[in-house]
């Protein structure tokens, strides 16, 4: 996430990073624990959005996003919270690996703002053929595929693309999305 935040900053997209409460506890005591329940995660995310809006003013363009579960929480939050202009998910957990009967996209049709998912083509949480089979359920969500990337954007050596290459591509695609879908520019 640090490398991604730096790549986004280089593209001109300011980032505010935060940790969910369970991750803060893990950092404090070193014990691995499961994620908090969805309501607690959403409350935390909502508080961060409110703090950013409070600090920068209500008229800023605000995207929410995250990696994996953080992106999922961002998309759920955007479905209900006003003041969000778009969502970008970096490796969306469409379903648990190997569990194609447990899709996590029911809320997509209720997201009122543009949303982009940047997904590796080898991501076990949703591969291209699996997602294409559900395209009618994606609503207005756009999916951009990062060739060879897995869930953390690592690629096989034979592709001669590094994880940083895919992170940089994700950041560049995010800026393109911001310009076209959020700001309305195409240059």
In whole angstroms, give the CA distance from residue 161 to residue 158: 8
pLDDT digits (tens, 9 = 90+) for 48-57: 999 999 999 9
Distances (CA, A) of 103 to 26, 66, 87, 92, 155: 28, 18, 19, 11, 25
Q: pLDDT class for 89, splitting at 50, 70, 90?
A: very high
Domains of the chain from N-terminus onward: 2-183 (3.40.50.1820)
23-57 pLDDT, tens digit per residue, is 999 889 989 989 999 999 999 999 999 999 999 99
pLDDT digit string, tens, across residues 108-137: 999 999 999 999 999 999 999 999 999 999
pLDDT of 151-170, one tens digit each? 999 999 898 999 999 999 99
| Residue 13 CB contacts under 8 Å (≥ 6 apart), including other chains | 63, 171, 174, 175, 178
């Amino acid at each position: 996430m640090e490398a991604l935040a730096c790549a986004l900053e280089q593209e001109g997209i300011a980032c505010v990073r935060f940790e969910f409460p369970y991750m803060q506890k893990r950092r404090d005591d070193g014990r691995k624990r499961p994620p908090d329940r969805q309501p607690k995660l959403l409350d935390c995310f909502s508080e961060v959005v409110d703090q950013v809006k409070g600090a920068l003013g209500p008229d800023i363009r605000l995207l929410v996003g995250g990696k994996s579960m953080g992106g999922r929480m961002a998309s759920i939050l955007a479905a209900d919270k006003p003041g969000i202009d778009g969502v970008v998910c970096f490796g969306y957990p469409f379903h648990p690996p190997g569990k194609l009967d447990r899709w996590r996209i029911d809320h997509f049709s209720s997201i009122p703002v543009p949303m982009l998912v940047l997904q590796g083509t080898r991501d076990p949480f949703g591969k291209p053929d699996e997602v294409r089979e559900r395209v009618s359920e994606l609503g207005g969500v756009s999916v951009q595929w990062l060739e060879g990337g897995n869930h953390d954007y690592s690629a096989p050596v034979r592709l001669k693309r590094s994880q940083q290459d895919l992170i940089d591509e994700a950041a560049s695609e995010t800026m393109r999305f911001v310009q076209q879908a959020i700001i309305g520019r195409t240059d």
